[in-house]
Amino acid sequence: MSSWHHFSTGTLGKRTMRMAIPDKLSFVLLVWICAFLLPWQWNSAVIGFVIILQVLAPSFRPISKSSRRYFSRFVAYALVLTLVLALVNGLLIREGSVRFSILFLNFFDAGIIYGLEVSVRIVLLSLSILLFFGSTRIQDFARYLQSVGMPNSFVSILLLTLHFLEQLPHRIAQIFTAQEARGAPVRAGILSRGRALLLVLPPLILSSIVESLERGAALELRGYHFYKPVTIDGKDTRFSLWRYVFMTLAITVIIRSVYLWLMR
């Protein structure tokens, strides 16, 4: 029975080998600063580093199989996105020399590089968010937000929204199965799926709003106040080497960018 305690209040405030949430958030911040201030070649290396972290660092390992699957899928889509953006920009922005030609299409240097800059930035920003949420229990994150003084109403809305988003694919699948059972070709192809999804989504979103109201009332009936903080284990005030390392690196990247801008 006592083992429940380990699951019941998350990892906030406990001394473990894993990074605390603020450390991970500092890392995400560092990645974001890199994404905006470093050249795309360096950011490509940062992307590689983030992928390696997801595999090797215990703190950033996905918490579930689905998180791992989403991460792998995203990496695959990111490669395609980068390639497409680089090619489209290379085709449309006709500046610099021609890097290569396919049949009668010429792809220009400036366009390709611009496409790479944009796509690498998008991928890095998204990847860092995915890395954080894929490796962090949402309840732990909510508790962290509450412990740093985030309004209870905001945290509650965030959690209810995430709960709805988590349930959404399941509900869509249920509706699709029900429609298939009466002969509607909702899974017959991409077009049918898309059309069915468009029809299903608005009522689902409306019903989720109604359900949220019911949930709100049910919470109120349990004495829950959206504008009153709940009891939290305590703020994490430990000294963290990781946080200092990440913050120092982030400041270094900013100083480098300012220096380069001044020397221009």
Partner 1 sequence: MAHAIEITDFTFRYGKEAPEALSHMSLTIPAGSVCALLGPTNGGKTTLLHALSGILASHHRDSVSSGTIRIGDQTYAPLPPNVLFPAVGLTIQDAYSQVSGLRETVFDEVLLTLETLGTPLEEARKTVEGLLLSLGLSHLALRKPSTLSGGELQRVAMATILVAQPAVLLMDEPCNSLDGTAQHRLRSVVRALKQRTTVVIADYQLEFVLGIADQFVVLDSGRIVFSGNRRSLLERLADFSHLLPTDDWVKTRAAVKKSTYRRRIEKVLGIQ
- What does the radius of gyration of the chain's CA atoms come to, in whole angstroms? 23
Q: How far is CA 173 from the centre of its chain?
A: 23
Q: Report the phi/psi class of residue 230: left, alpha or beta, with left for phi > 0 and alpha for psi in -120 to 50.
A: beta
Query: Residue from 45, 201, 230, 251 that binds partner 1 (CB under 8 A)?
Result: 230
Place of tokens 């509900």: 171
CB of 185 to partner 1, least distance (A): 29
What CA–CA distance (Å, rounded) separates 201 from 159? 20
Is residue 65 at the binding interface for partner 1, with CB under 8 A as the rule? no
116 residue type, one letter? L
Cα separations in angstroms, 146 against 40, 139, 141, 232, 235: 36, 10, 9, 7, 9
Place of tokens 């900013």: 254
Query: Residue from 174, 178, 185, 214 that binds partner 1 (CB under 8 A)?
Result: 214
* Count, residues near partner 1 per rule CB under 8 A: 32
Return the range that interacts with partner 1 (CB under 8 A); candidates 23-31, 81-89, 135-143, 178-186: 135-143
Binding-residue pattern over the window 161 to 190 for partner 1, x denoting contact by CB under 8 A = --xx-xx-----------------------
Handedness of CA 201, 207, 209, 212 (dihedral sign): negative
User: Looking at beta carbons only, is 119 or 146 nearer to partner 1?
Assistant: 146
CB of 240 to partner 1, least distance (A): 24
What CA–CA distance (Å, rounded) separates 12 from 236? 7
Question: How many C-beta neighbours within 10 Å does residue 153 have?
Answer: 12
User: Looking at beta carbons only, is 121 or 215 nearer to partner 1?
Assistant: 215
Return the range that interacts with partner 1 (CB under 8 A); candidates 74-82, 189-197, 218-226, 235-243: 218-226
Helix (H) or strand (E) holding 106: strand 105-108
CB of 139 to partner 1, least distance (A): 5
Is residue 138 at the binding interface for partner 1, with CB under 8 A as the rule? yes
Is residue 63 at the binding interface for partner 1, with CB under 8 A as the rule? no
Is residue 137 at the binding interface for partner 1, with CB under 8 A as the rule? yes
Query: Residue from 160, 247, 249, 253 that binds partner 1 (CB under 8 A)?
Result: 160
Residues that bind partner 1 (CB under 8 A): 1, 4-5, 7-9, 137-139, 142, 156, 159-160, 163-164, 166-167, 211, 214-215, 217-225, 230-231, 233
